[in-house]
Amino acid sequence: MVSLLTVPYLGTAEEDVLVADWLVEVDAPIRKGQAIVALETLKASFEVEAESDGVLVRRLSERGERVPLHAALGVVAAAGETIDEDSIRSLLEEHRSQHGASADALAVDDGAVESGSEPTNGKARTAHGASSRTGGVAGGGQAGKGRVPAAPAARRRARELGVDLAKVTGTGRGGMITVADVEAASVTPASTIFAEEAPEGRLDPEFVVHLYRDAEIFAALSSESKVALYRKHGARIGQGVHIAKGALILCEELVLGDDVRLSEGVRVRAHVFHAGELTQIGPRGQLRATRIVLGHNAYFAPDVEVGGGGAMDPEASLRIGSHGFVGEHVHLNPCRPIVIGDEVTISRNASIMTHSFAGSMLEGYPNRFAGITIEDGCQIGIGCTLFPGVTMGEGSILLSNSALVTSLPAGRVYAGSPAQDLKAAREAIDDKRRLALAQRIVRDFAVALAARGFETRFEEHGDTMHLRVLDGDASHDLWFSERLDTSERELVVEDLRVGLECEDAAFEALPSELCGFDLVKKRVRGELGELGKALREFLRKRGIRLEPRTWTYRGEWL
């Protein structure tokens, strides 16, 4: 049966790959698993193997050509099988309908099968008919002709960045719009880089001059003195902000929410620096970019580096959502925009790069400048590297020491170098399984407190669990049941009621002496004592983050 040999999934963010070498001659017999053609990306080389026994009857590309992802490379038939041009044409049309025009734009044009194949000594010659690269054409050269020709990855990137493809100049072959074209069209001009938000917190220009000139003297001041001077000269700074001795912010626009903390040795250099309440930057953190905007309760571990080459380019920006974590020795390179959503975990030693270059691009060396998007709830493992232009879909996971060179879909686990799809990021669980997991959390919490020297009493009666912690003469109680229990019990210093379900009206009407935890709707109501603070932190470390969200653990029990 006649079939197409195509470019497989290679784990690359590039729009096309190089045909490095053909390893089999036309009309040569091939065996299943035999390497047929070698392909190269900017990062690695690959061999495409035969999926079945047969004969390579035609090549649709030649050595040294660049072809797009999913492109048809050749035609394979069973030994002795007779094929005609109509069969090949049908295959190519079907392939085009499945993968779009970009899948064969570099490999075969519409007339290739009709005119590009002339038998010579009984052998079919190659019919690639590649169209030549043209100059850039707005809308991919298809203005007024319906759907704009763009690579699938470029369409996805355009949706992410809000770019109108009809207004983009395509520089790919035949005017094809590439990811790089989309990203170039989305770049904010330097003259409007600060226009998206009102200039609140704009510092007095004369103060900024003195700040840069006497930076080390200013850094040595106490936190109280620095905060007072920033406020006096235009910064908007909330209550409880701490800028440790030796820490310094050099910028023209400064907004800090309540309880923001910059540890010793932290240095920030930006035109615009905003940090939401409870955001913490650990010791020796170095943050440098044209624009840095951090959400609420973002946590930076020690020795995080934001910056590198191009950090002060007009397009260089870092935006991180709320409740995220950035681990030790993470490197973020925002030469082009890095956008990170809420509740994102970036583990230690990870690197996120928005540009890569070496030798001259005119001599064929890789050169790319492209932003990176990491959507809500993503997890990036220890030692991972993300390359320019990739997107991690919501809730996706990249396992440790992986290299991500292509976008990762939502809700999937990827691993390897280059990273490959492994499985779904989470399993489906029913109510019975959810109850068992919640009960395990409560048991583990009791064990954790006992291990820290607290006097605890723990009992289970059917689906009800009771933990009492004795702190001197004070009793702290936790009652767990599937349906949150609001019944009257013994009066104690702290009375926590924890459950998987509770009607909204009942939850809102909890008596003032109780503190309720609804684990499924992820909410807490009531005043937190030491046991409640410890439980909330214990739940947070298991991914159960409760509303109201902006909270940090400052208790002593865990």
Q: Where is average pLDDT lowest: 59-63, 352-356, 365-369, 553-557?
A: 365-369
Report pLDDT for 240: 96
Assess whether the previous peptide bond of 418 is cis (omega < 30° from 0): yes
Residue 7 has what DSSP assignment? -
**For residues 464-476, average pLDDT:** 95
Instruction: Specify the domain boundaries for CATH 4.10.320.10 within the chain.
Output: 149-186
pLDDT band at 12 (very low <50, low <70, confident <90, very high): low
Average pLDDT over residues 211-220: 95
Distance between CA 67 and CA 186 in Å, rounded? 26
pTM value is 0.67
Query: How sure is the predictor about 416, in pLDDT bands with cuts at 50, 70 and 90?
Result: very high
Backbone angles phi, psi at 474, to 5 degrees: -95, 140
pLDDT, tens only, 132-172 = 333 444 454 443 445 566 665 567 667 666 778 888 877 66
pLDDT above 80 (res 34): yes
CA distance linking residue 26 with residue 50, whole number of Å: 14
pLDDT value at position 117? 35
- Give the percent of the chain with pLDDT over 70: 82
Residue 112, pLDDT above cutoff 70: no
The pLDDT of residue 46 is 75
Q: What is the mean pLDDT of residues 122-127?
A: 31
Q: 362: Cβ–Cβ under 8 A, 6 or more apart, which residues? A: none
pLDDT tops 70 at residue 94: yes
Give the pLDDT score at 138: 46
Question: In angstroms, how far is the first alpha carbon of the chain from the final one?
Answer: 66
Which range, 1-10, 181-190, 229-238, has the best average confidence (pLDDT)?
229-238
Q: What are the distances in angstroms from CA 402 to CA 8, 381, 554?
A: 20, 8, 34
Looking at residue 189, the DSSP 8-state letter turns out to be P
* Per CATH, domain 3-115 is 3.40.50.720: no
Q: Which CATH superfamily is domain 149-186 in?
A: E3-binding domain (4.10.320.10)
> What are the tokens at 75?
């035609």
In this predicted structure, what is the pLDDT of residue 164? Answer: 81
Alpha helices, DSSP H only, in 131-204? 152-161, 179-186
Which tokens is 45 given?
């080389």
pLDDT in tens, 522-534: 999 999 999 999 9
pLDDT band at 113 (very low <50, low <70, confident <90, very high): very low
Lowest mean pLDDT, pick from 60-69, 391-400, 504-513? 60-69
CATH class of this structure's domain 205-424: mainly beta
Q: Which has the minimum average pLDDT: 38-47, 316-325, 358-367, 433-442? A: 38-47
Which of 34, 71, 26 is CA-nearest to residue 50? 34
Q: What is the CA radius of gyration of the chain?
A: 30
Average pLDDT estimate for 371-383 = 96
Q: Which of 31-35, 82-86, 273-277, 448-452 has the lowest mean pLDDT?
A: 82-86
pLDDT band at 291 (very low <50, low <70, confident <90, very high): very high
Q: Angle at the Cα of 345 (from 351 to 414), degrees rounded to 5?
A: 70
Mean pLDDT over 71-100 rounds to 82
What mean pLDDT comes out for the span 292-320? 94
Which residues make up the CATH 2.40.50.100 domain(s) of the chain?
Answer: 3-115
